Structure 1
Amino acid sequence: MPDRLGSMYLAAETGAQIGGDLYDVVQTRYGVRMIVGDVRGKGLPAVRAAAVVLGAFREVVHYEDDLAEVINHCGEALRRDAVVAVAGVVGGDDALLEGFVTALVAQIPDSPHFETINRGHPLPLLLSNGTVRPLMPTVPLPPFGIEEFISGPPVLTDSYPFAPGDRLLLYTDGVIEARDWDDTFFDLPEAMMAMRDHTRQAFLEGLRQALLRHAQSRLADDVAVILVDRCEGEGHQPTGGPT
């Protein structure tokens, strides 16, 4: 049951107060694993925080079977980096303040479902049976950097049906916070529904054009998107990669 994946990245206009968007897609023995995230900050500290989280994901994604441990490893790496910053070794207190990161990890195994853990990130969208719906986590969790608000049982992985013909969209908030001259936010679910019959490449290009048209080509934040189609067919490994 192969999957087809694509991605898109749009940089904000020069001079915008942008944060550090991050994303990656990796084929592992557990299936395709993905991360998408966004640092709530700007400048070099935000870039550093994004690099720390992405590096931690790449370090652990191939050998840790528990998706919760994958995302916990990313949070631990960010906390360690913050401790170094507070100690004055790198960046001082300002670097710590830029360490607030939303992130979502997802896993698509060779079965008709997929799994996610969401740390305060915009909700993924699932197009299934002609309907687009946001995927709410069972237990909402805060972003990395404010773990003191996590209490109760360990972090659990949410699982959702993912059948042939379904489409999954992960994205950063630069998409849904894009505004037009009337200060109206971009309606991503509506755009996804309008392009439900588009091929993967046509959808990504259509989304790019719609975003730039809505924002008059003046994006205030970076945009990162990962699109996954669950396809009919033979085989045991998802194929393709970000395009």
Structure 2
Amino acid sequence: MFRSKVVSSAVFLAVGAGLMLHFRRVLLRELRQTRRGAGAARSTLLRPLPARIDGLATAAAQLPADPGAAVGGDLYDVIATDHGVRVVMGDVRGHGRGATGTVAALLGSFREVVHDEVELACVLRRLDRALARHLRERATVGPDTEAQVAEEFVTVLLLEIRRDGELRALNCGHPWPYLLSDGHVRHLTGADPLPPLGPFPLPTELPPVDCGRLRPGEALFLHTDGVTDARDGQGRFFPLLATLSEVVRTTSRISPHTVLRTVLTALLRHAGGAPTDDIALLVLRNDRPARRAPSGARGTARPATTNPQPTNHA
């Protein structure tokens, strides 16, 4: 009798162990499939940038607030066109599947129209129309109500970098980028941005902001407000300006990857390794050879800059 119970217990344990091993293998297989799917989604939406785009060295990173999400509500892309290198950086309100769908709609539109539209204002209007179509579809066929969709908005920064380094921008409620140059850091411009896309119609006139030039060796640092809004355990905001200033002071040549790695490491340390908002960072350095100025010509004056401290945006 005792031997029968021992045998039964051994069989039960063996079966149980076999089932646990089977379930573990199934879970690991599903986890690998989920990760592959997440990686495919990330590569499709926020595709990796080439190391150089038309003479500009690049480095970028995106970190969703939701650790289970493949892509958060932040977006960026850099594309060389006949009109110059065009850059988009944006931040969709909220997180989750709805925000990811909006990211896909805007990036798809940007990649299509950025080659066709000569004027930067026309690119922005096409993005605005693409967002409106997407939100109407969400209200019609998705789980969101019209009231929920009506509250959606997207901050967008469009930049155009021409062959001579001339910079022009259109900004809809997004943080302005920083210019990194000669050991110094400052906001590219202090012009008041337009309202975010979504709640309000764009104005009739959309003149791009003249931001001066990005000279050889200089770099731009673009970011979403998840960076400047990150807080530590005592509620203090992340000191982005001080972090950028430190990295450019300690390097003889601005490296996009060094800037990106330094800021991201400091940010995660500041936030305790768990950011509460989506984060996107993009660094562009002008690696084009300097153009020789005509005999007797004066150097181009640096544009005036204001707002030396980061500004938090909704």
TM tier relative to shorter chain: 0.7 to 0.9
Q: Deviations over 1:54-95 (max 9, x none)?
A: 111111011111111111111111112223334x23344266
Please identify the structure whose Cα radius of gyration is greater.
2
Q: Does 1:159 align with 2:192?
A: no
Residues 190-201 of structure 1 correspond to what in structure 2 (within 5 A)? Answer: 190-196=242-248, 197=251, 198-201=254-257
2:65/2:72 contact within 8 Å kept:
no
Match of 2:160, SS state, is strand
Aligned to 1:62: 115
Structure 2 counterparts to residues 161-200 of structure 1, below 5 A: 161-196=213-248, 197=251, 198-200=254-256
3-state SS, counterpart of residue 176 of structure 2 = coil
Residue number among 65, 70, 85 corresponding to 2:138 in the alignment: 85
CA contact (8 A) 1:39 1:98 kept: no
1:109 offset after TM fit, Å? 1.1
Q: Tell me which residue corresponds to 2:273.
A: 217
**Equivalent position SS for 1:102:** strand
SS of 1:233's equivalent in the other structure is coil
Mapped contact 1:34–1:107 kept (Cα < 8 A):
yes
How many angstroms apart in 1 are the aligned matches of 2:149 and 2:112?
A: 22
How much does 1:180 deviate? 0.7
CA distance change for structure 1 residues 19 and 143 in 2, over 3 Å: closer, same or farther?
farther
Structure with more strand by fraction: 1
Indicate how the Cα distance of structure 1 residues 33 and 157 shifts in structure 2: closer, same or farther if over 3 A, else same.
Answer: same
Find the aligned partners of 1:19 and 1:6 in 2 and give their Cα distance: 18
Percent of aligned pairs with the same amino acid: 37
Structure 2 residue ranges without an equivalent (≥5): 1-53, 292-314
| CA drift at 1:232 | 4.9
Task: Tell me which residue corresponds to 1:241.
Answer: none
Change (3 A) 1:138 1:179: closer
Match of 1:108 among 138, 156, 161: 161
CA distances 1:114-173 after superposition (whole Å, capped 9, x unpaired): 11111101111112343322234645200011224x54x511111222112221011111
Deviation at 1:53?
Answer: 1.2
SS in 1 for 2:197: coil
TM-score (norm: length of structure 2): 0.67
Structure 2 counterpart of 1:233, which letter?
Answer: P
Give, in whole Å, the separation in 1 of the partners of 2:136 and 2:55.
Answer: 42
Which residue is 1:120 aligned to? 173
Deviation at 1:3, TM superposition (A): 2.0
Report runs of 4+ in structure 1 exceeding 6 Å deviation: none
Q: Hey, which of these two has a bigger chunk of helix by percent? A: 2
User: What CA distance in whole angstroms lies between the structure 2 residues aligned with 1:221 and 1:4?
Assistant: 27
Q: How many Å separate the matches in 1 of 2:245 and 2:195?
A: 29
Counterpart CA distance in 2 for 1:72 and 1:6 is 28
Q: Which residue number in structure 1 is paired with residue 86 of structure 2?
A: 33
Relative contact order, CA 8 A, sep 6+: which one is greater?
A: 1
In the alignment, the residues of structure 1 paired with residue 257 and residue 68 of structure 2 have an alpha-carbon distance, to the nearest angstrom, of: 30
Q: What amino acid sits opposite 2:276 in the alignment?
A: A
CA RMSD of aligned residues (A): 2.4
TM-score by length of 1: 0.86
